Amino acid sequence: MLEELIVAGFGGQGVLSMGMTLAYAGMVEGKEISWMPSYGPEMRGGTANCITILSSNKISSPILSSFDTAIVLNQPSMDKFAPRVKPGGLVLYESGTILQPTSRTDIDVIGISATAEAIKMKSPKIMNMIILGAYLHLKPVVAIESILEALKKVLPEKYHHMLPLNEQALLRGEELVNSELREGVMLVC
Amino acid sequence: MLEELIVAGFGGQGVLSMGMTLAYAGMVEGKEISWMPSYGPEMRGGTANCITILSSNKISSPILSSFDTAIVLNQPSMDKFAPRVKPGGLVLYESGTILQPTSRTDIDVIGISATAEAIKMKSPKIMNMIILGAYLHLKPVVAIESILEALKKVLPEKYHHMLPLNEQALLRGEELVNSELREGVMLVC
Amino acid sequence: MEENTTTVAPKQRKVKGKVEIDIQKCKACELCTVECKEQALKLGDSLNIKGYRYIIADNERCTGCVNCALVCPDAVITVWRTNVKKQKVNVTPEDVREQLKGNIVGSL
Amino acid sequence: MEENTTTVAPKQRKVKGKVEIDIQKCKACELCTVECKEQALKLGDSLNIKGYRYIIADNERCTGCVNCALVCPDAVITVWRTNVKKQKVNVTPEDVREQLKGNIVGSL
Amino acid sequence: MTEIKLMKGNEALAEAAIQAGCDAYFGYPITPQSEVLEYLAREMPKHGRVVMQAESEVASINMVYGAAGAGFRTMTSSSSPGISLMQEGISYIAGAELPCLIVNVNRAGPGLGTIQPGQGDYFQSTKGGGHGDYRMIVLAPASVQEMADHVYLGFDLADKYRNPVLMLSDGAIGQMMEKVEFRPYKRPEVDKSSWATTGKPKTRSRNYITSLHILPEKMEEHNLKLEEKYRRMREEEVRFEEMNTEDAEYLFVAYGLCARICQKAMDIARSKGLRVGLLRPITLFPYPYQRVSELADKVKLMLSVELNSGQMVEDVRLGVNGKTKVEFFGRLGGMMPTPESIVHHLETLILSKNGN
Amino acid sequence: MTEIKLMKGNEALAEAAIQAGCDAYFGYPITPQSEVLEYLAREMPKHGRVVMQAESEVASINMVYGAAGAGFRTMTSSSSPGISLMQEGISYIAGAELPCLIVNVNRAGPGLGTIQPGQGDYFQSTKGGGHGDYRMIVLAPASVQEMADHVYLGFDLADKYRNPVLMLSDGAIGQMMEKVEFRPYKRPEVDKSSWATTGKPKTRSRNYITSLHILPEKMEEHNLKLEEKYRRMREEEVRFEEMNTEDAEYLFVAYGLCARICQKAMDIARSKGLRVGLLRPITLFPYPYQRVSELADKVKLMLSVELNSGQMVEDVRLGVNGKTKVEFFGRLGGMMPTPESIVHHLETLILSKNGN
Amino acid sequence: METNGSTDVLATDINQEYEVVYRKPSTLVDVAMHYCPGCAHSLVHKLIMEVVEEMDIQEQTIGVAPVGCSVFAYDYMDIDMQEAAHGRACAVATGIKRLMPEKYVFTYQGDGDLAAIGIGETLHAINRGENILIVFMNNAVYGMTSGQMAPTTLPGMWSTTTPGGRDVSFYGQPIRVSELIAQLPGSFYVTRQVVNSSNGVRKTKKALQNAFRYLQMNKGTCMVEIIGNCPSNWKMTPVECSDFIDEQMIKAFPVGDIKVPKL
Amino acid sequence: METNGSTDVLATDINQEYEVVYRKPSTLVDVAMHYCPGCAHSLVHKLIMEVVEEMDIQEQTIGVAPVGCSVFAYDYMDIDMQEAAHGRACAVATGIKRLMPEKYVFTYQGDGDLAAIGIGETLHAINRGENILIVFMNNAVYGMTSGQMAPTTLPGMWSTTTPGGRDVSFYGQPIRVSELIAQLPGSFYVTRQVVNSSNGVRKTKKALQNAFRYLQMNKGTCMVEIIGNCPSNWKMTPVECSDFIDEQMIKAFPVGDIKVPKL
Ligand SMILES: Cc1ncc(C[n+]2csc(CCOP(=O)(O)OP(=O)(O)O)c2C)c(N)n1
Ligand SMILES: Cc1ncc(C[n+]2csc(CCOP(=O)(O)OP(=O)(O)O)c2C)c(N)n1
Ligand code: SF4
Ligand code: SF4
Ligand code: SF4
Ligand code: SF4
Ligand code: SF4
Ligand code: SF4
Ligand SMILES: [Mg+2]
Ligand SMILES: [Mg+2]
């Protein structure tokens, strides 16, 4: 098993923690993992991204030029990373923020209005968990249980009461994908 | 013409200026010259020396391991440099300060009581000029006139009134050597 | 918010002011809103390209006191005012050089 | 120098002192000679191995006031004194530790 | 079995320092390694160890001098510009023979440059960025695990040779997260009482720490003593890793992060039928010249891949000494070569070579 | 004809700086080069130039940054430990592409070491003691005359390439006196208005001096621009001197003071019938690899003679690339090899070689 | 320029009926600054550029940027500038000013830059009485590197390197740079200001105007210390920061003139 | 030991009839020091070692030598010592003291070392309140490098780098380190003394004793500044130096306690 994923978006969108959660979940399942953030003066705005690799074998390069999946949360990231997705790969994006998805037809391109959904759920911060839920439904590289396990590590103690909310968000993401698919989005493969 | 000379003694004995005067005189006569001082925390006592080379041809190494002449003004310098004089070379020393001259017989070894003489002349500082005079009498590598010329450069303006005194000192050195020789010191060659 | 405003109705005012917000550079720090005694400024709901909810001005309330502009870190506020003559606030380079000849000047 | 000395003749003194000079370490700085009110110290004529004219002491004049020793940078002076009991000057480590338990002590 | 953690390289480094019994850390913040100081600021006090944010890198390295001189296990870390400021101090530490660990999380330069990863400090690290003839053992971790392992190794080698050890990492390895395991560590016994300045008892003569030998004769003696030590390092401490060298026709030579990328490039190349191997120097000083020389007899071409304009390649050439072709491929300014680009570069070289 | 003076190397350097139109000197005292600052403190004000004793070498190099950045001909000088403290500043100056002259009157290290002459800073000077990929043109004067001549040359090259130039001298050349002639000097016209921070008129966009390029893409662009500059230097600025190479069987390679000593050693060797030649690199960067390579085809053995533990010898090997035998002879800690000892070493090498 | 405002007024008649009473200075480059929302750096950049514009000294002014969040100052101030190594701005400014004594030279530095690594260069420049202006942005934290302790961090104040709050028994008290350097004969004008209110801004600008004028006299170093904020690392909103400054910062760093020349 | 003294007294009966009232401390290594004749460095070395002997803290004391003429201090003081890089003694001492809080740690520094290149490390160590003693030898010149200007060189005073005398309009006023650092809360005891007379020596020794005692309290940094001489570079005899100190130096550097703890 090998999944080479990039998550990209604005600073505050929880891009890094999404990748990190996935990495922890991978560890929970005894997979080999690598999480490589872009770092820099994010604090002063700008974009952030991280490459997360899950594999059943030892991982060589933590740095990649093409990906199985790109999760993009703003337009610049869509423009930058969609072209780098391997044929047959997946682009999952936040459809509220991104108005021009890629026009590629050799990959799956699926948008989720996670931001709006998060606001509905009264906690904008969990937007990234909704996306993660959607992603895992499309590509079950780790089990939801492992994610919840992972969240215990990622979230500081004092936020553990939020775990249920996060679980809801993950499930909400799942549902959203399903409806999307029902609305007839064709998966390439 | 090539003269490879080392002058060595205590800090305050005017060792460096003696060599420098000689170097200037060499320049006055259009010779090639090199003057290499030992430097370091002399100020805090210890010994000083300088290698002075006069030559009619371009000088390669300013640093030498053997010398045509060694002018030594204290015992440590005698012990250190007398052995490094080329066979047939000259060791000229201050006989008031140095009690054990070298026992070498393949070189000329001549002592001058310049310190006592300088005190007689009421200016201990010119001890080095007396020695220089003696040296130039034994080895006229430059003319006395050139030395006087040189002193004008070496001495700051305000000391130029001392020039006559220096000249006397040079001549006194000459005489001292003569008497020494009269007292039957044999020159090897 | 409208309720608890204590400002007199614009019409009565001698001095009228207007502000203009360079919305794409606004970062929604809200330092200006705090400074505006007339509550003429508030955060809007729409986002600018940087993703910030930029400031909306209600110029009917504005007296042109420039306080908002002074505290705006990103210099995105321009302020106009009527009857400026009476109480000159704007400082042109010329004025300042003039004053500088004399003693230290205060800023506006 | 002998002439203008104002000190009483040694014999009358209650306290007699003696100094010892570690001549090979003396650098002829003459700081001690200035300090010695009894003119008991002066530069000699002979040189030590370092080439310095070291200090000669005339212990008949010495009161053991230790001033010379205090100012000697190179710590080459040792001072003795009679009747030390009366006005103890020397300080042994023990004394000092004793005193240190109390308040700050002055040095001798 | 010890617990496996998921950690950033910088954090793994810091945690390992604690487990290695590091007594004191002195450092000054700089991206991309501030996590080291921040982690230790949280954790060290719990172990009664000393952690201090110094007023500068110059102060840091001189605090290290003092603490190491007193016989304590001491370290500092910084990134390129900060390491440059330490050069005088490092030269002093080497001259005074003080064991300590210095970590450079290399970023791209020169000057302020950028905070993205780089390997532009190779020369500074291996040939001595400071003045005078001195050497540090230079370790080049290539994974988060090694960020931890090299801390133990580094401290032990420092004590073994009474010499500073440098870990030359980079921003990517410092920032990335991987699994890391902290294996039980047994600290070797070292007796520093003959030189450490712990206060002079009546029973021994005083200890003093100095790099000053004003008499050239004495200084040369001291230099020769150091050279002898460096010779021993060259003999005993060379470390490297190699992959697929048995049948390799072409060899990638790379360290640190680059070695990881080259490993992927190697796989791609092999999948294309190119017999490529990889040599990863783990110690950059002492350098595996010997092994390079042996491999030079076997391969047609060596490609040194670095995040700089070509520094380690000089050591590859010195090892090869003309016996085979040596080429260089690198990216600069914090840019990363992709595995594909490396393979592509190799292919063009092979073509042009056959061209000749 | 210009007057011939008898001067110390350090004084000749200082006088040349004045005659080269140096606008400003910032420095901090250190043996064996304090004469430079002292001479200029006496003479510069007479010419209305700026000379300032800074509070440290760190301050000096950053004052140089400021003055050079404003477009003025600026220099500093120091000796080994002081130069180490300047490494960050030098890296910044190289990164910001500021023309200036830096003089290192090399003494023996590491650490405080001793004040006697050394060549232990060769690596630091030529490979970059600071962080990141940068290069300075490095000039190695071997006489008091060159201490003067290289100042003109250094300033001109600095302006030509908008790059710092380093003069790597040593304590002996700095302290010794020889004849020196100050030939009339014509300063090339250079227009710095496109970058120097002299105050922004309405007529041009602002100039700013920086080494920061936060985006890797931009930083790499900048690095590549620098590399192109360094490539041009390698092409256009290699300088060396050779003696008796036509018929040489054995070659001494040495720079600075060592080259002078080797010259005498060569004469002695020839008087003994050994066909010895001498190659003296004048630019240490760019290094005369090409010429070394050519000579490697002709000679049986190259002996690199240095006042260190063997640094330049690596560049000799890189130039030779296995084509002939390369050996090293050096003294350390401020000790000087005598001409005789060099010849003796060569003879034993020849014997042992024939032994094989 | 995309703007809003009461739509019934057209730009043209605005200019007839109304007069501009505040506009961004022309000397401030018209780009979005990289600073976090509400960051005092941007505000102070603006003020300096207002003074430069009003005094019409753009061509006579050279600025020196530090290493810190304001490292990019040269992207925003439309004057010739140099970016100095971390802490060395005063040395760089010395190099510039000594060669161009007729110019206005100022440094812009953060507390880490000026008071930690750069305290030596700062003190010596001031002791020499370099005729430069030092604009000192004191936000009590290392902003750019994300929140480590600065020499000015308040006792007990949290930072990433003082997770338990600054322990003065370990790190000592915050350094009051202005009071310290006012001791040096070389300093000519030293003042500390805040910019967390329109009045503070007015005073700060006045201080900057004074400083630039004093530079003309070549009587010594001027320092304008500004108590700034760092919303991102203080973990507060800009408005909360303003309160924190009033309630905490100015207790440790009293606002006002510390050294004023008697003319 | 080759000595002289009135020859009629034999060493033996000396010890019966007389008692030693002054002898070189056993903690001072019995070798000739390299310092120039009359140099205050040697004198102050002696005083420090007297205190260490009297307090019997040889085993608890670690000294840090600077780069300067006193770089060789470790050849003379019979205690464990470290030789620090130029100007960094306070950083080195911090490293030692923080790891061995129970020890007495002192630095011995010249004015160039402490106040020029080292002012940053010095100030920060004191601001942290490091519990160390700084013995500051102020001889207003760079002795070791042969007479360049120091930060403490007097206005108009000649040095090899101020051939026309120190021009304060160019280099500023001499820095009064003790007054400056007394401002810092971290400093606990700050005093300035002279050693050009037996009384000065007595006071200086007392100051050193106080300082070592205060170190036991761990209340902050102690500094004992000593106005020293430099016959070789002042171009005066030691005795002339003593007068110069009384007539010139103490005007610029007033002698006495600058900060005394209220206990
Ligand atoms: C030599 C060196 N050390 C450390 C750094 C990392 N660094 C960059 S900015 C900074 C401090 C910033 O704090 P401050 O000066 O207060 O500026 P602010 O960002 O708070 O405005 C540090 C430590 C560096 N770039 N160079
Ligand atoms: C980094 C560095 N810069 C400069 C020097 C040269 N240097 C040695 S001692 C010294 C200053 C000595 O003056 P001071 O500190 O006053 O001590 P003093 O000799 O007067 O007692 C200098 C500049 C050095 N050794 N290292
Ligand atoms: S100018 Fe005054 S009244 Fe108008 S919006 Fe700004 S603060 Fe409010
Ligand atoms: S102060 Fe300026 S940036 Fe902040 S919210 Fe108001 S207009 Fe926007
Ligand atoms: S002890 Fe007093 S009296 Fe005796 S020699 Fe010394 S100074 Fe003179
Ligand atoms: S003070 Fe000491 S060194 Fe100086 S002359 Fe007197 S005895 Fe000699
Ligand atoms: S980190 Fe702090 S100082 Fe830096 S830009 Fe953001 S708010 Fe301003
Ligand atoms: S040079 Fe000055 S400070 Fe140094 S030893 Fe001599 S007199 Fe003392
Ligand atoms: Mg700050
Ligand atoms: Mg001094």
Are G36 and A41 a contacting pair at CB < 8 A?
Answer: no
Residue B88's Cβ-count burial label (10 Å; 0-12, 13-18, 19+) is exposed
Task: Report the Cα–Cα distance between both ends of chain H, in Å, rounded.
Answer: 45
The encoded tokens of residue D92 equal 């042994």
User: What's residue B39's pLDDT?
Assistant: 77
Q: What is the DSSP letter of H77?
A: B
Q: How far apart are CA E265 and CA H112, in angstroms?
A: 56
Asked whether the predicted pLDDT for residue D93 surpasses 90, the reply is: no
Asked whether the predicted pLDDT for residue B67 surpasses 50, the reply is: yes
Q: How far apart are CA E328 and CA E305, in angstroms?
A: 6
Q: How far apart are CA F177 and CA F142, in angstroms?
A: 12
**How many residues appear in chain B?**
189
Enumerate the residues of chain F whose CB falls inside 8 A of the CB of residue G65: 210
Q: Is the dihedral of CA F125, F127, F131, F133 positive or negative?
A: positive
- Closest to C93 (Cβ–Cβ): which among G2, G28, G56? G56
Bigger pLDDT: H160 vs A46? H160
Asked whether the predicted pLDDT for residue H12 surpasses 50, the reply is: no
Of the residues C38, C60, C84, which should be mutated to test ligand 3's pocket, given the most ligand atoms within 8 Å of the CB? Answer: C38
User: What's residue H13's pLDDT?
Assistant: 43
The encoded tokens of residue G209 equal 């105007």
Are G161 and E112 a contacting pair at CB < 8 A?
Answer: no
Asked whether the predicted pLDDT for residue B17 surpasses 60, the reply is: yes
For G185-224, how does the pLDDT look when each residue is reduced to its tens digit (9 = 90+)? Answer: 999 999 999 999 999 999 999 999 999 999 999 999 999 9
- Beta-sheet strands, E only, within chain H: 3-4, 19-22, 61-65, 80-83, 104-110, 133-138, 187-194, 221-227, 256-259
Q: How far apart are CA B39 and CA B168, in angstroms?
A: 30
The residues, ordered by sequence, that sit 6+ positions from E256 with a Cβ below 8 Å of its Cβ are E119, E140, E141, E142, E168, E169, E170, E173
Q: How far, in Å, from the CA of E60 to the mean position of ligand 9?
A: 20
Task: Report the Cα–Cα distance between both ends of chain B, in Å, rounded.
Answer: 17
**Residue D19 identity (one-letter amino acid):** V
Of the residues D20, D22, D24, D30, which should be mutated to test ligand 6's pocket, given the most ligand atoms within 8 Å of the CB? Answer: D30
**H/E element holding F224?**
helix F216-236
Looking at D20-74, list the stretches that DSSP marks H as alpha helix, in order from N- to C-terminal side.
31-35, 67-71
Asked whether the predicted pLDDT for residue C99 surpasses 80, the reply is: no
Average pLDDT for C72-89: 80
Q: How far apart are CA A75 and CA A81, in angstroms?
A: 10
User: What's residue F101's pLDDT?
Assistant: 98
User: What's residue A23's pLDDT?
Assistant: 97
- Closest to E211 (Cβ–Cβ): which among F111, F129, F215? F111
**Residue F184 identity (one-letter amino acid):** P
User: What's residue D3's pLDDT?
Assistant: 39
Q: Which residue has the tokens 């290094």?
A: F287
The mean predicted confidence, pLDDT, of chain F is: 97
CB H40 within 8 A of CB H226: yes
Looking at E70-178, list the stretches that DSSP marks H as alpha helix, in order from N- to C-terminal side.
80-85, 87-95, 122-123, 144-161, 171-175
Q: Is the dihedral of CA C90, C95, C97, C99 positive or negative?
A: negative
Q: For C19-77, give the secondary structure using H, E and C.
A: EEEEHHHCCCCCHHHHHCCCCCEEEEEEECCCCCEEEEECCCCCCCCCHHHHHCCCCCE
3-state SS, residue A91? strand
CB F117 within 8 A of CB F334: yes
Q: State the ligand closest to the CA atom of H113.
A: 2
- State the CB neighbour count (10 A cutoff) for residue G257: 15
User: What's residue F131's pLDDT?
Assistant: 98
Residue E196's Cβ-count burial label (10 Å; 0-12, 13-18, 19+) is middle
Beta-strand relationship, G80-83 and G61-65: parallel
3-state SS, residue H218? coil
Q: What is the DSSP letter of C94?
A: H
User: What's residue E118's pLDDT?
Assistant: 97
Give the best residue of H21, H36, H193, H229 to mutate against chain D (max D CB count within 10 A).
H21
How many CA atoms within 13 Å lie on the side-chain side of A43? 18
Asked whether the predicted pLDDT for residue H42 surpasses 70, the reply is: yes
Query: Which amino acid residue places its CA nearest to atom 7 of ligand 2?
Result: F30
For H176-218, how does the pLDDT look when each residue is reduced to its tens digit (9 = 90+)? Answer: 999 999 999 999 999 999 999 999 999 999 999 999 999 999 9
Of the residues H34, H42, H46, H69, which should be mutated to test ligand 8's pocket, given the most ligand atoms within 8 Å of the CB? Answer: H69
Query: Which amino acid residue places its CA nearest to atom 2 of ligand 8?
Result: H230
Rounded percentage of chain B residues whose pLDDT exceeds 90: 77
Q: How far, in Å, from the CA of F81 to the mean position of ligand 10?
A: 19
The encoded tokens of residue E87 equal 């050069």
- State the CB neighbour count (10 A cutoff) for residue A118: 22
C17: phi then psi, degrees, rounded to nearest 5 = -125, 165
Q: How far apart are CA H163 and CA H148, in angstroms?
A: 9
Asked whether the predicted pLDDT for residue B51 surpasses 60, the reply is: yes
For A7-47, how does the pLDDT look when each residue is reduced to its tens digit (9 = 90+)? Answer: 999 877 899 999 999 999 999 999 999 999 987 654 455 67
The residues, ordered by sequence, that sit 6+ positions from F100 with a Cβ below 8 Å of its Cβ are F64, F68, F74, F75, F76, F93, F158, F164, F165
pLDDT band at G3 (very low <50, low <70, confident <90, very high): low
Query: Which amino acid residue places its CA nearest to atom 5 of ligand 8?
Result: H35
Q: Which residue has the tokens 């003394």?
A: H193
Asked whether the predicted pLDDT for residue H251 surpasses 80, the reply is: yes
Asked whether the predicted pLDDT for residue B40 surpasses 90, the reply is: no
F278 DSSP β-pair partners: F243, F252
Are E112 and G85 a contacting pair at CB < 8 A?
Answer: yes
Enumerate the residues of chain E whose CB falls inside 8 A of the CB of residue G85: 81, 111-112
Average pLDDT for B62-82: 95
Inform me whether the C-beta atom of residue H150 falls under 8 Å from chain F C-beta atoms: no
Cα G86–Cα G89–Cα G93 angle in degrees, nearest 5: 160
pLDDT band at C104 (very low <50, low <70, confident <90, very high): very low
Asked whether the predicted pLDDT for residue D103 surpasses 60, the reply is: no
User: What's residue H129's pLDDT?
Assistant: 98
CB H42 within 8 A of CB D75: yes
Nearest to residue F129, comparing CAs of E164, E311, E313, E130?
A: E130
Q: How far apart are CA F138 and CA F168, in angstroms?
A: 7
Are E317 and F314 a contacting pair at CB < 8 A?
Answer: no
Please work out whether the CB of residue G231 comes within 6 Å of at least one atom of ligand 1: no
